[in-house]
Copies of this chain bind each other. A is one copy, B any other.
Amino acid sequence: MLIERSCEFIAQLVNGQLIGKSAQMISGVSSLQNAKATDAAFWRNTGAGSDMYYQQIIPSKAGVVLVPMKFDLPVQEGRAWIKCVNPSLSFAKVTAMFKESMSYTPGIAKSACIEESAEIGKDVHIGENVVIGKRVKIGANTAILPGVVLGEDVCIGEKCILYPHVVIRDQCIVGNHVIIHPGVVIGGDGFGYEDSPEGYQKIPQVGIVQIDDDVEIGSNTTIDRARFGRTWIQKCTKIDNLVQIGHNVVIGENCFIVSQVGIAGSTTVGNNVVIYGQAGIAGHLIIGDKTTIKAQSGVTKNVPAESELFGSPAKSRDDYCKDQMYIKKIPSIVKEIEELKKLSLFSLLTEELKLRLLSELKIKK
């Protein structure tokens, strides 16, 4: 279902200032390069000014372009600019507005298997082959896409999207406005065993996973249930694909966790922490607020707030840079030693003089 909006409407939506006169109706979004006349696009001027303008905006076919406030180049006939404080952010709003027209229609697919005791909220969309266990609760306006499996007593908030084949096991709790991408597994057993003479004995994992409001979780990520209590992802945290989060981990608010990161059991991550791709954090640690952990780092110790960590095992930026610098110094050290050898008076002597000197000096050696 196509929706169309005027340039005025879009300017108002983003609280921006419309420049130029355009009767063009806009029905989608695109990059400057690929835009059609019916598309909105945006320009992130990084300072290069009019050159980039002539290279990128003029040749673009976009009907309307979101530009920064300081942008003052002339608009072409029949097109429009919208000046805004943060064109990228404003553009996200425009995109979301067009996306809304593609949202999921309320209703329950015939092939869905839903236990009678489940409570399904208002205007929920439930797709094909969804399986919903006993006493599950689903909030209003949530979309559960094909093949999702929800165990007994799972509780999902309002306005969530659970993409195909998400699995959430018994008793886990998901807040409002949570987005969970395909193949995510929430509430699998934590990896807990007692080492006994007869081999590893499984420790039952009877806790849950709790996901707070406005969290997003990337495709095929796994979040294990707690031994007791909860594994807990706090509000506004964003998690990328193929991330592993162990049992009893707590992740604070507004964290940003990039693909293939692994966080071992019982570690607590503070608020506003950024963890880049493929980094790992050992178990039972405390990571302070506003810490940044660089890609492929391996964190093995507690970390105070506002740390910046590099390498495996992870070190502070200072220590990491020093190590790198030290290694780089080795060739010059080798050279200096050669120089020293030459400079060593002793090595400069003829064999005859060496012997004479040694005897004269009553060498201790």
Residues of chain A touching chain B, judged by Cβ–Cβ distance below 8 Å, are 28-31, 33-34, 86, 88-89, 92, 95-96, 99, 109, 111, 113, 127-129, 131, 145-147, 149, 163-165, 167, 169, 179, 181-183, 185, 188-189, 191, 193-194, 196, 199-204, 206, 214, 216, 218-220, 222, 224, 227-229, 236, 238, 240-242, 244, 246, 253-254, 256, 258-260, 262, 264, 277-278, 280, 282, 295-296, 298, 311-312, 322-323, 326-327, 329-331, 333-334, 336-337, 340-350, 353, 357-358, 361-365
Given contacts A188-B163, A254-B200, A348-B363, is CB(A312)–CB(B327) below 8 Å? no
Given contacts A167-B164, A219-B185, is CB(A240)–CB(B191) below 8 Å? yes
**4 closest A-B pairs (Cβ-Cβ)?**
A326-B330, A95-B204, A31-B228, A185-B219
Give the complex CA separation of A201 and B88 in angstroms.
Answer: 10
B194→A88 contact, CB < 8 A? yes
B340→A341 contact, CB < 8 A? yes
A88→B348 contact, CB < 8 A? no
Minimal beta-carbon separation of A289 from chain B (angstroms): 14
Starting from the known contacts A89-B201, A165-B183, A348-B364, 16 additional A-B residue pairs (CB-CB under 8 Å) come to: A29-B206, A31-B228, A127-B131, A131-B146, A182-B188, A199-B236, A199-B254, A258-B264, A260-B260, A277-B280, A277-B282, A323-B327, A330-B330, A330-B333, A344-B344, A350-B362
Minimal beta-carbon separation of A170 from chain B (angstroms): 8
Set of chain B residues within 8 Å of A350, measured between Cβ atoms:
361-362, 364
Copies per assembly: 3
Set of chain B residues within 8 Å of A113, measured between Cβ atoms:
109, 111, 128-129, 146
A343→B344 contact, CB < 8 A? yes
A92→B202 contact, CB < 8 A? yes
B224→A241 contact, CB < 8 A? yes
Instruction: Pick the most buried of A163, A236, A241, A361: most chain B CB atoms within 10 A of its CB.
Output: A241
A228→B277 contact, CB < 8 A? no
Minimal beta-carbon separation of A339 from chain B (angstroms): 9
Minimal beta-carbon separation of A258 from chain B (angstroms): 7
Give the complex CA separation of A92 and B128 in angstroms.
Answer: 38
Minimal beta-carbon separation of A4 from chain B (angstroms): 17
Set of chain B residues within 8 Å of A95, measured between Cβ atoms:
203-204, 206
Contact of A329 among B128, B202, B259, B334 (CB under 8 A): B334
